[in-house]
Every structure is written in C-alpha cells, then in structure tokens.
Chain A
Amino acid sequence: MSDTIVLLPDQSTARIPKRNYLTQENGLLSWLLTRDHKRIGILYLISISFFFLLGGSLAGLIRLELLTPQSDLLATDTYNKVFTMHGVIMIFFFLVPSVPATLGNFFLPLMIGAKDLALPKMNLASWYMYMAGGLLALWAMITGGVDTGWTFTTPLSTHFVNTNVITTGLAIFISGFSSIFTGLNFIVTIHKMRAPGMTWFRLPLFVWSNYAASVLMVLGTPVLGITLILVVLERTVGIGIFDPTKGGDPLLFQHLFWFYSHPAVYIMILPGMGVISEVISTFSRKRVFGYTAVAFSSVAIAVFGFFVWAHHMFIMGISNYAVLVFSLLTMLVAVPSAIKIFNWALTLYKGSITFETPMIYAFGFMGLFTIGGMTGVFLGTSGTDIHLTETYFIVAHFHFVMVGGMLMAFLAGLHFWWPKMTGRMYPEKVSQFAAVVTFIGFNLTFFPQFILGTLGMPRRYASYPPEFQVLNVFSTAGATILGVGYLLPVLYLTWSLKYGAIAGDNPWQATGLEWQTQSPPLTENFTQIPIMDHEAYDYEWLERQKEKEVASVG
C-alpha cells in the first residue's frame, strides 16, 4: 500500500485543459476588468504575497535590531516606524484579506456549486479598493512612514507624532471597503446561490467559517472606519472627541478601536480554521468529526467575538466590574476554539492518514494554535493579564495565533488547492521540507518571546536590558530560519507553474464540489450545475462515483 493518496493522470498523455479560466481571455485588460471570482482571487493572491514579503522584510529588520540590547542598527524613530508599518501591512493588507479574498474568492462559489459570487462587479471593486488602500499605505511609508504603532493610540496619534498618520489612516479606511464588499458578497452568495441539494448542513466547513468571518467583516469594519475618520478629524480640525483637554475621552478611542480589532482577529483566524477542516478531512479520508459542532463553533466565535473587546484594556482604568464581565466572556470565547481542536484530532481516529504538505502544515497549525489559544487564556485571566499585558508575551501569543495559526493555515490551503488553481502539482518533497523548516523556525522565533514577556520585557522597545539578550538572539536566529521557510514556497510554487506535474481533476481524491470539475476550472466553473445528492466529506460517495466511471468507460 502506498503512503500517499495522490492520484495523478498519466503524465505522458495528460494535458492541461485547453479551455479554462486562465486561457479564456488574454491580455492585461482581461485581468484588470475581469469579473471572474477565480481571476480576482489570483489578483488578490499576487497582491497579498507582495505585501506579505514587504511586511516580512520589515519583521526581519526588527529582529536584526533586537539582536543587541542597544538601539544601534536603527534609530529609535526608524525602529518605531518599522514596527508600525510591519503591523499595518501584515494585519490590514495581508492577514485580513489572506484566506477569504484569495482562497475564499476562488473556492467559495466552486464549493457551493455556483458559477460566480453573487455580485461580481462588487468583487472586482473590492480588489480595487484594496489596491487603492495598499498603494496609499505604501505612499505613506515611502514619504516618511508612520510611528504610532498599528493601534493608532490617541492622543499619541492625534497630537504628538508628526508622521503620516492621516495618509495611513485613510489607506486603512479605504481598504476597509474591500473587506466589507467581500464579506457582503460571501453572505449573499452563501444564502442565495447554493446548488440544488446543497443544504446548510451539507456545506463544507470552509464555507461555514468564511460565512462567520463575513458577518464579522460586515459588522465590524465600519466601526474601524468611523474610528479612523475620527482620528483624522481630531488631527486635522481638532474636534476633540478623544482629547481630555477638550472634554473628550482618550479611552473612548480604545473602546472603538478594539470593538473592531478584537473581532478582526477572528476575521483573520476563522477562514484559516475552515482550511484546516478541509485538509484534515481529505488527508485522513474521513468526514470531519462532529461536523455540526465545528460549524456552530465558528458561529459561536463570531458572536462572542464581539463582546470581549475590553480585555485589551484590563489595566487601563476601566471599572473592576467591567473587567469581571469581559474576563468571563473571554473565557467563553476560548471554548469553541478548544472544541475545534479536539474535533480535528478525533477526525484522525480510524482514518487512513497520509502526510502530504497541506497535512503537515495542518498539524503545525494544530500544535501552534493550541499554544496560541492557551496563552490567550493567560491574558484573558484578569490577574495574570496585569503582569503579562503590554510585554513580549502578548507579541508571542499574537504571533502564535496569527503566524503559527493563520499563516500555517493559509499555506496549507495554498498547497492544498494549488493543483486546482494552476492545474499543476507543487513538488512534494521540497514543500514538505519547507513546512518542517517553517515549523522549527517559527518555534525558535516566538517561543523565547513568551519567556521574555514573563520576564517583563515590554513590546515595541528598540533597546532592552542586557540580560534579555540571549533570548532575543534565539528569536532572531529563529527568524532567519523562518525567512527561509517562507522563501522556499515562493520559489518552488513559481517553478511549478511551468514544470509541475499535471494534476488532473482530483489529485487528492477529495469530496468537495470544487474537485469534481476540471483543473484549472472553466470560467463558468461547471459544465452543468452540480446537484448535491450526498453529505459533505462523503468518501464512500466518491468511491461509488469512481466505480461508476470505471464501469461506464470500461
């Protein structure tokens, strides 16, 4: 018995289908004016990869500066700008759009058996808003940068810094529309455009988690937009809403900002969780254990996610009783994540497991997300939060969830669906190697930061007491390994566009509707609208289909 499920067509005769969404039309304009959700997904993929590499280089600069206790590589002002731009780019221009706008855009219609998203023009507009915001942010960065931190804390951002706060704020405001458009589009599409037979409880879990994230995007992003506009108005005309000398309240800003920015972490992580459900099921040949529990836990996260924002403010002088309420609610939001982890683990039980690259990333996700989630409980617990908040413990926790969790999930999904998107396989051995390198590099980078945080090293410090150096050296060493781990996929995925093996329709023998059409898919996705006559993740149905095919072809 072989130890892989990969089933490729005979490479000597196989061809990429002549007619597909890539060859349908040619020329730059056919891309820039496309309304095809798949092409828009590819546009997003290229743009977020660019921003990821930019944000990653900035992270490299941060780690290099922190190699020594003195601030010697970068002046403190430059360092502040670098970590601010790292945060702004990674959060607003990579993490938020990463899975939904690329993989979600590409696969959500395919997975529910639709021809496209409900509002294709709005989908294209969303990419243009994203690009407008992104270019404006780049412009702000090139013309002097911004040094408020990605949190834009008032009154620092409104009265005390002389950098491009307004431009950056407007950039994020504009790119917020791309989130809202995508979210709205997903919600309408999932409600209205499911194929016949595709009931809510036959939806792949990726769709459920994107649905939950879309609700958060549509409800949360406007609050961020309003908050940033208030910051811009405070800076330009001094309306005084956050200014204590004019009777404003600087804490109000924090409430408004975290009202979006806490749900935002669920916008970032939920679609990633959806990817993990798909990958774990496919490579263990089993229906996801407790499908309904996993689906509803996404919804629960989306609902509770809106009522925990003040746990970012436990030491900021909000009332002790508010702290009690928000600490309790934070504990509640931790539970659905635990439910998901255990359900994924139990999906493996009595499966038939293979270890292709997406699965390795998914295992990495489970380990790192468990650590990231549990360390979140340290911070949700009001007592320990006093000591750990505003230190490297927060930095490590956030990166375990966002990089260890979300980025691992994104890479899992990218490898998993790469054959469908391009029609070609990525090289398996080197990509398994890259996944392991990423895992090792990640742990070496961010685990020492938990210890640094417990020691009390504050975040956003360009220099630090010398006894913290050893751990910082480990962290920087890890970051170089991590950098290699991220560069490798860029190289071999590009290579595979031309030289990868022809994938065929369903190399993983997965059950999703997206795998029952050609790779790369047609512009209209399916030759005829599929009819969903089986449950999600029904591998026995897939076996019967294959038998039927063999019987009819002979």
Chain B
Amino acid sequence: MPQISPVLWQFLVKWLTNFALFPPEASRIAPQLDALYFFIVLVSLIGLTIVILLVTSFSILYSKKRHPVPVQIEGSTLLEATWTIVPLGLFLVMFVWGALIYFRVFTPPANAMNIYVVGKQWMWKAEHPGGQHEINSLHVPAGRAIQLTLISQDVFHSFSIPAFRVKREAIPGRYTTVWFEATTPGTYHLFCSQYCGTEHSHMIGDVVVMSPEDYKTWLASSTSGASLAQNGERLFASMSCNACHNARPDARGPSLANVYGAKLTLTSGQTVTVDEAYLRQAILNPSQNITQGYAPIMPTYQGQISEEGLIALIEYIKNLNSDYRVQQTTTTTTLLPGGAGKAAPAKQEPAGQGMVQQ
C-alpha cells in the first residue's frame, strides 16, 4: 500500500485487529447484568427515537414556509400524565431489576472461598487462604464462588474487573466485600478505578481464571510454606497476644476460640456480632471494644501492625475452634525460631516491659 502513509496504515491495521467494542462476559453475573444493560439501551434508543422523530417531523411539517400561522395550544393533561407515568413505570422496572442484580453482586453465598485484597498506593496485594500472595494479579478457579474482602491501607481504591462486571471500593479502615463466580478461563483486566494519586493509572493487573486442575497446580507452585492462618498464628505469638488471650482459667483477656460469629456483650452494654470488622477494630481500638467482664488493659495496636498482618490475625482467629487450639499456639510458638524472645509466657511479661522502659 504505497499510497497510504505508514502511520495511517498502522492505525488501520490496529483498528481492524485490536479494537474492543464490548467487554468479555466471564462471570456468572455478567450475562445477567448485560441483559439489564441492553434493556436500558433499548428503552433509551426508543426514547431518543421518539424525541428525534417528534422534533424532525414537526420541524418539517410546521416550518415557517409550510405553516406560516402558528396555532396556540395550552397543553394537554392527558399527554402530561402519559409522559410522566410511562417513563416512571419504565424507570421503576429498571430500579427493581437493578436492585435484584445489586443484591446478588453484594450478597456472597455461604460457601464462597474468601480471598483478602489489600489496596495501597499503587498496588493490589491479594492474600489467599493457603498463604499465597500476589501483587497486581489474582488467580482464581473457574466455577467456584470467590468472595473478595477488600481493605485499603491508605486512600480509597476501587477493585474493578470489567469482564466480571464487578467492582468494589477498597476503603481505609473498613472491610468491604464482593463476590463473583468466574466462568471462562482466561486473563482479564484488573483496574483500580478510584483515583488514588500519582500512579493511579499504573495500579492495574490481571485476573487469571484457571480451570480447577490448573488452579490446583498453581496453588501448589505458589505456596509460601505456611497458610494465611499459620502466618496469623505466628504473628499472634510474636505480638504477645497469647500473653492474655491464652484460654487459661486465669487469662486476663477473653478466649478467642469460636469467637468469630459469636454475639458478644461489651462493657458499654452494646451487643455485637463478631465479624472481620469487629476483630479489626478490637485489635486497633481495644478500649472501645472491651468484652464485658474484662478489664480495659489491652493496648492499642494502631500503627504497629500492617493491614496484611491484621488479615492474617483475623484469619487465624476465625479458624480457632477450641481452647485447646489456643493453648497449643501458646506453647508451640515459643519453639519457633526468632519468636522465642518475644513470645514470653504471661508471667514474664511485666519484667519484659520493665526492661523496655528502662
């Protein structure tokens, strides 16, 4: 093509070969959301056609040339009622349909596999239950409900997977959740869609959907040797949480066995259901969240523990199902290398604190 300039030629080739018009549908919710999307497109097109038809036909029929003398008309209550009620009815259909989808997207099924995602300037860090970490990518199996629990370490971010039609804000200081079930293996865009500062447009990555077998292989090859809960256990010991939360009869803190999902009464008289958000608050801001019957002696861990650390701790606490399990933590971790000095037994702790103060 010697007549066409190379730049234009390249552009045309690119246009023909690499030109997206509609995102892939790669999750269970995607076709449902698209059905509603195209319903609204259809209604919009009909509405727009009516407006254009009215304006053009009146412009032709009643142009000054054809229709020199206007006929004054006050209005019509019937017409006003029509174009109030018909759009309102259509909008209400969209409202109900949209709300159904919204509730579906943000109500995860009970058996969903939970993956934690921490957003920070400017990367996404995913924490799998098996202890696998990823940065700016997310590997998930097809055909299984995945719940994401999101939090931001600094500013607002937003975790967006257009091919799944889901998006959720990652907020500092608060867990948010979203779920999806990927259907088609492949690699899809992952965007941060909430403006978050300088490198906002580089806070992107890939969501890799794998067949269950491939996913198993990936899990095995990416393991860091310890699960998320095991990491949490190590942290639990190294932060000396078990100095008080040791499930012994004389413990100064409440036992954490089976605490997740339980109803607690606080010293303020308030009743709370223990979820991730409560656990996080209780670690960072303990004085507001003291269980009834215990003294407010727990220090705050604000600024001493990262969001990933909190996630690991929470994952550990969620999996504590007996006092025996708690006591086991207390005893085994003293054997861990490097953990020995910090994870001192309860009775030695005051001495340790005294040493720090000196």
Which of A153, A250, A470 lies in contact with B195, CB distance below 8 A?
A153
Q: Which of A2, A456, A461, A464 has the most CB of B within 10 A?
A: A456
Which chain A residues (295-335) contact chain B, with CB distance < 8 Å?
314-317, 320, 323-324, 327-328, 331-332, 334-335
Question: B347 at interface (Cβ–Cβ under 8 A)?
Answer: no
Question: A33 at interface (Cβ–Cβ under 8 A)?
Answer: no
Which chain A residues (238-296) contact chain B, with CB distance < 8 Å?
244-245, 247, 250-251, 284-287, 289-293
- Contact at B165–A371, with CB atoms within 8 Å? no
Residues of A within 8 Å of B101, CB to CB, are 382-384, 386
- Contact at B197–A456, with CB atoms within 8 Å? no
Residues of B within 8 Å of A384, CB to CB, are 33, 36-37, 40, 98, 101
Which chain A residues (455-504) contact chain B, with CB distance < 8 Å?
455-471, 473
Which of A1, A250, A315, A387 lies in contact with B68, CB distance below 8 A?
A1
Which of B15, B48, B95 lies in contact with A374, CB distance below 8 A?
B48
Residues of A within 8 Å of B105, CB to CB, are 383, 386
Minimum distance in angstroms from A252 CB to a CB of chain B: 12
Beyond A386-B33, A458-B191, A460-B195, is A160–B154 a contact (Cβ under 8 Å)? yes
Q: How far is the CA of A353 from the CA of B57 in the complex (A)?
A: 11
- Contact at A352–B64, with CB atoms within 8 Å? yes
Beyond A335-B87, A378-B40, is A286–B201 a contact (Cβ under 8 Å)? no
- Contact at A470–B102, with CB atoms within 8 Å? no
Which chain A residues (429-470) contact chain B, with CB distance < 8 Å?
451, 454-470
- Contact at A331–B92, with CB atoms within 8 Å? yes
- Contact at A387–B162, with CB atoms within 8 Å? yes
Q: Chain B residue with minimal CB distance to A383? A: B101
Which of B19, B95, B167 lies in contact with A470, CB distance below 8 A?
B19
Residues of B within 8 Å of A2, CB to CB, are 64
- 0/1 per residue, B50-63, Cβ < 8 Å to A? 01101100110011
Beyond A153-B195, A339-B80, A377-B40, is A349–B73 a contact (Cβ under 8 Å)? yes
Q: How far is the CA of A496 from the CA of B204 in the complex (A)?
A: 52
Question: B94 at interface (Cβ–Cβ under 8 A)?
Answer: yes
Q: Chain A residue with minimal CB distance to B284? A: A245
Q: How far is the CA of A451 from the CA of B47 in the complex (A)?
A: 19
- Contact at B198–A390, with CB atoms within 8 Å? no
- 0/1 per residue, B146-185, Cβ < 8 Å to A? 0000000011101010110111110111101000000000
- Contact at B74–A334, with CB atoms within 8 Å? no
Question: B303 at interface (Cβ–Cβ under 8 A)?
Answer: yes
Residues of A within 8 Å of B9, CB to CB, are none
- Contact at B87–A351, with CB atoms within 8 Å? no
- Contact at A386–B102, with CB atoms within 8 Å? yes
Q: Which of A153, A342, A387 has the most CB of B within 10 A?
A: A387
Question: A80 at interface (Cβ–Cβ under 8 A)?
Answer: yes
Of the stretches A99-107, A362-370, A417-425, the one at the interface is A362-370
Minimum distance in angstroms from A14 CB to a CB of chain B: 24
Question: B351 at interface (Cβ–Cβ under 8 A)?
Answer: no
Q: How large is the interface on A (under 10, 10 to 19, 20 to 34, 35 or more residues)?
A: 35 or more
Beyond A160-B121, A387-B165, is A351–B62 a contact (Cβ under 8 Å)? yes
Residues of A within 8 Å of B197, CB to CB, are 80, 147, 156, 160-161
Q: How far is the CA of A515 from the CA of B84 in the complex (A)?
A: 34
Question: B214 at interface (Cβ–Cβ under 8 A)?
Answer: no
Q: Which of A339, A341, A355 has the most CB of B within 10 A?
A: A341
Residues of B within 8 Å of A317, CB to CB, are 168-169, 171, 174, 176
- Contact at A350–B80, with CB atoms within 8 Å? no
Which chain A residues (500-554) contact chain B, with CB distance < 8 Å?
539-540
Q: How far is the CA of A540 from the CA of B160 in the complex (A)?
A: 59
Q: How far is the CA of A71 from the CA of B75 in the complex (A)?
A: 55
- Contact at B51–A381, with CB atoms within 8 Å? no
Beyond A383-B98, A466-B18, is A460–B201 a contact (Cβ under 8 Å)? yes
- Contact at B19–A377, with CB atoms within 8 Å? no
- Contact at A153–B155, with CB atoms within 8 Å? yes
Beyond A80-B200, A323-B102, A456-B191, is A378–B37 a contact (Cβ under 8 Å)? yes
Of the stretches B20-28, B239-247, B250-258, the one at the interface is B20-28
- Contact at A3–B64, with CB atoms within 8 Å? yes
Beyond A289-B73, A315-B158, A327-B99, is A345–B92 a contact (Cβ under 8 Å)? no
Question: B199 at interface (Cβ–Cβ under 8 A)?
Answer: yes
Which of B59, B95, B189 lies in contact with A353, CB distance below 8 A?
B59
Q: Chain A residue with minimal CB distance to B18? A: A467
Question: A36 at interface (Cβ–Cβ under 8 A)?
Answer: no
- Contact at A456–B162, with CB atoms within 8 Å? yes
Residues of B within 8 Å of A147, CB to CB, are 197-198
Beyond A352-B64, A383-B97, A386-B166, is A250–B172 a contact (Cβ under 8 Å)? yes
Residues of A within 8 Å of B11, CB to CB, are 470, 473
Question: B4 at interface (Cβ–Cβ under 8 A)?
Answer: no
Residues of A within 8 Å of B342, CB to CB, are none
Which of B76, B163, B165, B173 lies in contact with A386, CB distance below 8 A?
B165
Residues of A within 8 Å of B92, CB to CB, are 331
Residues of B within 8 Å of A367, CB to CB, are 48, 51-52, 55
Minimum distance in angstroms from A365 CB to a CB of chain B: 11
Residues of B within 8 Å of A284, CB to CB, are 62, 70
Beyond A349-B62, A383-B101, A539-B70, is A454–B23 a contact (Cβ under 8 Å)? yes
Q: How large is the interface on B (under 10, 10 to 19, 20 to 34, 35 or more residues)?
A: 35 or more
Chain B binding surface, main DSSP class: mixed
Question: B91 at interface (Cβ–Cβ under 8 A)?
Answer: yes
Residues of B within 8 Å of A153, CB to CB, are 155-156, 194-195
Beyond A339-B84, A456-B189, is A382–B174 a contact (Cβ under 8 Å)? no
Question: B1 at interface (Cβ–Cβ under 8 A)?
Answer: no
Minimum distance in angstroms from A399 CB to a CB of chain B: 17
- Contact at A155–B155, with CB atoms within 8 Å? yes
Which of B70, B80, B160 lies in contact with A293, CB distance below 8 A?
B80
Q: How far is the CA of A374 from the CA of B37 in the complex (A)?
A: 12
Beyond A245-B302, A338-B83, A345-B58, is A390–B167 a contact (Cβ under 8 Å)? yes
Question: A122 at interface (Cβ–Cβ under 8 A)?
Answer: no
- Contact at B33–A335, with CB atoms within 8 Å? no
Q: How far is the CA of A245 from the CA of B153 in the complex (A)?
A: 11
- Contact at A348–B59, with CB atoms within 8 Å? yes
Question: A354 at interface (Cβ–Cβ under 8 A)?
Answer: yes
Q: Which of A2, A314, A317, A466 has the most CB of B within 10 A?
A: A317
Minimum distance in angstroms from A210 CB to a CB of chain B: 22
Q: How far is the CA of A353 from the CA of B100 in the complex (A)?
A: 46
Beyond A291-B75, A350-B70, A456-B160, is A155–B51 a contact (Cβ under 8 Å)? no
Q: How far is the CA of A461 from the CA of B195 in the complex (A)?
A: 8
- Contact at B33–A383, with CB atoms within 8 Å? yes
Beyond A153-B155, A386-B165, A459-B195, is A346–B54 a contact (Cβ under 8 Å)? yes
Residues of B within 8 Å of A351, CB to CB, are 58, 62, 67, 70
Q: Which of B43, B71, B73, B302 has the most CB of A within 10 A?
A: B73
Q: How far is the CA of A77 from the CA of B15 in the complex (A)?
A: 30
- 0/1 per residue, B297-322, Cβ < 8 Å to A? 00000110000000000000000000
Which of B69, B103, B158, B196 lies in contact with A156, CB distance below 8 A?
B196
Q: Chain B residue with minimal CB distance to A349? A: B58
Residues of B within 8 Å of A316, CB to CB, are 156, 169, 171, 176
Residues of B within 8 Å of A327, CB to CB, are 95, 98-99, 102
Question: A76 at interface (Cβ–Cβ under 8 A)?
Answer: yes
Minimum distance in angstroms from B69 CB to a CB of chain A: 6
Question: A34 at interface (Cβ–Cβ under 8 A)?
Answer: no
- Contact at A455–B20, with CB atoms within 8 Å? yes
Q: How far is the CA of A466 from the CA of B189 in the complex (A)?
A: 12
Question: A391 at interface (Cβ–Cβ under 8 A)?
Answer: yes
Minimum distance in angstroms from A134 CB to a CB of chain B: 24
- Contact at A390–B83, with CB atoms within 8 Å? no
9 CB-based A-B contacts, threshold 8 Å:
A76-B199, A290-B79, A324-B99, A331-B94, A343-B75, A374-B40, A380-B91, A390-B194, A458-B191
Please give me the 5 A-B residue pairs with the lowest Cβ-Cβ distance, nearest first: A456-B162, A244-B173, A383-B101, A381-B98, A383-B98
